[in-house]
Structure 1
Amino acid sequence: GTKLKPEDKSKLLGKRSERPAYTELVDVWSAGVIAHYLVLGEHPFQTWDALLSGKLSMDEEKWMHLPLARRMVETALVPDEALRPSARQVLQAQWLPPPRRGGG
């Protein structure tokens, strides 16, 4: 493939670090938002301040029958990336109930 020359790389990245600004953990956070919306039909953060502070809207009654899914969403939406699970960990976790057999 084509490689960037150092001078082109610095133009592209500017003065910032050469490290990518985002990692897969941003995708994990996004998956948590999507999972919350798919399960409950509502956004996990009710206000902009809640989003910035990481304060989730986790209605106990609505999550009562899906404790493993709730736990996955809560951990995926942890504001501190260092505490958030990797995509592999999320995929390997058993957070969805087994499919029902017959007529479901």
Structure 2
Amino acid sequence: VVRLREVLGTPSSVYLVLDRVAGVELFTLVERHGALPEPFVAPLMAQLCHALAALHSIGVVHCDVKPENLIISHYPAEGREADGESSLPPQLTLIDFGYAATLAEGESCEGLAGSPEYAAPEVLTWLSRDRRGEPYGGPADVWSAAVTAHVLLTAELPFELPDAEDADEEALAEAARLTSLSFEQPEWALAEQARAWVAACMAPSQADRPTASEARALPWLQRHPGDVTE
């Protein structure tokens, strides 16, 4: 998780001073290379689950987990694999806490947050103007982590949301809630444990999803535990 150094305030604004994180967005790697290898992705997901578990343990929900908000350091740049950088294991940093919420025990998040393509079904219920949405919390981050894993492994979203300009709020929410994970992409052929992990973390009901700690303990990530910097 990106480190907070200082909080500064004026009568009209609050400024967060954060570490500058060197590296590249995971989404940039997908743009450059397409689907990424499972042995590369799994340790990164283990690190992400570790970060989310730490946040959730202190009542913080990120609310915008996606490849654009994950910076990877120590990634060997193209043509520079022999310069010594590749000797360090890739390190993941979760950034951009603009949508994050801090919850006391028993509290839940309310309102729309994050990016619709990565948002859990319960988050998308807040798109409706006709009724109150469903309260949510840490399980929404777990859903977003699973969508992120799917994108990294296949270079595709697990489902296709209707265009927000052409669809009503209910259509957007139902697209995520009723998604059927087909795992038809060839990248899934030899990744049975990865399929099981994504399916578990994308359970339509938030009550059926593992916590971030439980997700890290599932077989796929136990086989690729990752290197975590505390």
What TM-score do the two structures reach when normalised by structure 1?
0.66
Work out whether 1:24 is the aligned partner of 2:138: yes
Contact 2:193 2:219 in 1 (8 A): yes
- Alpha-carbon offset, residue 60 of structure 1: 6.3
Which structure would you say has the larger RCO, counting Cα contacts within 8 Å and 6 or more residues apart? 1
Q: Deviations over 1:22-54 (max 9, x none)?
A: 211111000000000000110011244542313
More displaced 10-residue stretch of structure 1: 51-60 or 66-75 = 51-60
Q: Deviations over 1:57-85 (max 9, x none)?
A: 42164311010011000111111111111
User: What amino acid maps onto 2:152 in structure 1?
Assistant: L
Structure 2: which 5+ runs fail to align?
1-105, 110-135, 163-173, 225-230
SS in 1 for 2:220: coil
| Displaced runs of 4 or more, over 4 A | none
Tell me how far apart the structure 1 counterparts of residues 175 and 183 of structure 2 sit (CA, whole Å): 12
Tell me how far apart the structure 2 counterparts of residues 46 and 71 of structure 1 sit (CA, whole Å): 20
Which structure's residues are more often strand, by fraction? 2
**Between the two proteins, what is the percent identity of the paired residues?**
33
More displaced 10-residue stretch of structure 1: 51-60 or 68-77 = 51-60
Structure 1: which 5+ runs fail to align?
1-17, 99-104
User: What amino acid maps onto 2:108 in structure 1?
Assistant: P
Partner residue, 2:156: 42
Tell me how far apart the structure 2 counterparts of residues 83 and 54 of structure 1 sit (CA, whole Å): 15
Partner residue, 1:5: none
Taking structure 1 as reference, are residues 87 and 26 closer, same or farther at Cα in structure 2, changes over 3 Å only? same
What TM-score do the two structures reach when normalised by structure 2?
0.32
